[in-house]
Amino acid sequence: MGDEERRAADAVVDLDADASECPACLGTIPRGQGRCPGCGLRLF
């Protein structure tokens, strides 16, 4: 497992944060969005 995979596996979801990190591309996802603007991963 590489460093990128380890960072993704250690990701924690903070529902009160203004933004979160995408577990797929590690991009920033603004609060309230259901998809990552960087890679399109659907979160909910």
pLDDT of res. 28? 94
The stretches in the chain having pLDDT less than 70 are 1, 8-15
The answer to whether the Cα torsion of 6, 14, 37, 34 is positive or negative is: positive
Q: Is 26 within 8 Å of 37 (Cβ atoms)?
A: no
Burial 18-36 (b: 16+ CB within 10 A, else e): eebbbbebeeebeeeeeeb
Assessment of whether the complete model's pTM goes beyond 0.85? no
